[in-house]
Amino acid sequence: MDFIKKNVFLISCVAVCLVGIGLHVMGYLGNGKNKGQLEQLEKKIQAVNSLKVVKNGVIDILDKNKNVVQKEYDALIDTVKKSTARELLNPKVFPEPKEVRSSQIYYKKFADAYCEKIAELLGPNMLNGKDRPSAIEEKQYLDKHLSGSSGRGTGMNMGNMGMGMGGGVSAVQGAKSPEESLREELRGKRALEISIYASPESFCVYNYWNNHDGDASVPEEIQKNSWFTLVAYWIQQDVALSIVNMNKGNNVFENPIKRLVEVSFCGQTVTPGASLTPGRTSVASSSARSNAKATERKPGSENTLPCYVIKAGVSAASSRPGRAATIGPEAKPSGIIAVGYTKNTSDDLVDIVQFEIVAVIDASKTFDFLNELESVKDAGKPEQRNQIAVLDFEVSAVDYTEEKAAGYIYGSGALSVVNILCEYRFFKSGYEEYKPKPVKDLLNPPKDDKPTISRSVIKPKKPKKDDDM
């Protein structure tokens, strides 16, 4: 008590100070802004406290799954790239020869390589195909068997062998001359020796490169021609693989795909050289085709290169319903289509090419062939791919009389001529580094260049009469 009495003034001062501090704290807490900050802090503390402890190894599992997904993604991209990273025929040509002085040599080797590859497609390990006997072959056969022997009989009865032209029509109708019997015998032997009627003429631009000496005096032209020919070969190879998978028989009579008329494109038409390359002969001159009108190539399809389908701010009517309209006459050689058959067009990821197949086929196997075209090629190999899409097809009847007169013998059964429109998809990541600059410029033209529609696909408007003005 004595202490309080003696220090009552000091105690009073301390009490007053404590009361002031308390009032200050209460005033601070009562401030709305500070109160909101404290509430947010409290919520964060509660959120942290509500977190569950991650068990040991969970993060490792998540990291492992992430790595697996990344590997699968990388493998997919690699597969996509390899599906387009195909054989270049002559790597020294693409994107352009490094040694300008040797350009002609390199392009000559490219020409030789393309012709050799077409020969391989027609060889016994692939299509095992030849054309019907030419007029020259038939003359040689007749001269060999008729010299010194008049009225020679033949050892092959076409009617008894079931080699009629279909629909129960017999190949033997009435008496035949020795020449006619021998000619028919030779044609029957050819049909038994091969798996399908096909020739280098069935593939585009063969005669162009068959006659080519490697002339590179116009670099931009030869670069585009060689590139689009390479694209054509890749497509032709997959068409051939599809036919091989369909034709499991030993000869034309046993196989569903009887004849490959052509694999054609709608780009620039190139002109073969005037002189032939030494050591090769022109396919056109060696075949000496008959005047009979059998199933024929489309007019102008020979030596016509592929072209890309691109987006264009135009619309056009096609000369044939369902077919793509082309860019105008001055732009047609550029190798692009302005309006595609579908909405699929070349973009930053893919290049789209359209092509057509014409073939004589067992009528009951048409849809099997369409499915085979869209199947995986080289399955199980690094370059396995599935890049063909069938867009449309037309079926027409076979004129057996004209086919027989032209030298084609198919055997009995219902046949059709099928015209198939397809598109082929190339992934740019697989071949963009090899694409020549002139070709890249086609797909990325200057913004000022506006494509014009061909006069061949647009009918001119009639001039208005004075009364209508």
Q: What is the per-residue pLDDT for 278?
A: 35
Q: Which residue has the higher pLDDT, 402 or 35?
A: 402
Please report which confidence band the pLDDT of residue 46 belongs to, taking 50, 70 and 90 as the band edges: confident
**Residue 422: strand pairing partners:** 355, 390
| Biggest alpha carbon–alpha carbon distance for the chain | 164
CA proximity to 434, closest of 225, 218, 235, 227: 227
Q: What is the per-residue pLDDT for 441?
A: 86
| Site of tokens 């008329």 | 261
Mean pLDDT within 379-388: 84
Q: Which residue has the higher pLDDT, 51 or 172?
A: 51
Extended beta strands in 96-230, E state: 129-130, 196-197
Tell me the C-alpha to C-alpha distance, in Å, between residue 81 and each of 93, 310, 383. Answer: 20, 21, 9
pLDDT at residue 439 is higher than 60: yes
Q: What is the per-residue pLDDT for 387?
A: 92
How far apart are alpha carbons 337 and 352 in whole angstroms?
Answer: 10
Supply the mean pLDDT for the chain. Answer: 76
How far apart are alpha carbons 281 and 276 in whole angstroms?
Answer: 7
- pLDDT above 70 coverage of the chain, percent: 66
Q: Which residue has the higher pLDDT, 68 or 332?
A: 68
Exposed, middle or buried by CB within 10 Å (0-12, 13-18, 19+), for 286? middle
How far apart are alpha carbons 71 and 61 in whole angstroms?
Answer: 15
CA proximity to 226, closest of 76, 103, 137: 103
Mean pLDDT within 31-56: 70
Number of H helices, E strands in the chain: 14, 8
Q: What DSSP character marks residue 41?
A: H
DSSP 73-132: HHHHHHHHHHHH----SSGGGSS--S-GGGHHHHHHHHHHHHHHHHHHHHSTTTT-EEPS
CA proximity to 237, closest of 439, 86, 91: 86
Mean pLDDT within 28-49: 70
Domain ranges (residues) in the chain: 79-443
pLDDT at residue 328 is higher than 80: no
Q: What is the per-residue pLDDT for 329?
A: 30
pTM, two decimals, is: 0.72
Report the run of H or E that residue 141 belongs to, with start and end: helix 135-146
Q: What is the per-residue pLDDT for 26?
A: 64
Mean pLDDT within 39-46: 77
Q: Is 314 left (phi over 0), alpha (psi -120 to 50) or beta?
A: beta
pLDDT at residue 18 is higher than 80: no
Mean pLDDT within 64-78: 75
* Token pair belonging to 303: 């030596």
pLDDT in tens, 419-438: 999 999 999 988 999 999 99
How far apart are alpha carbons 429 and 348 in whole angstroms?
Answer: 9
pLDDT in tens, 152-187: 544 555 444 444 444 433 444 557 888 899 999 999
Please report which confidence band the pLDDT of residue 383 belongs to, taking 50, 70 and 90 as the band edges: confident
Q: What is the per-residue pLDDT for 148?
A: 55
- pLDDT above 90 coverage of the chain, percent: 41
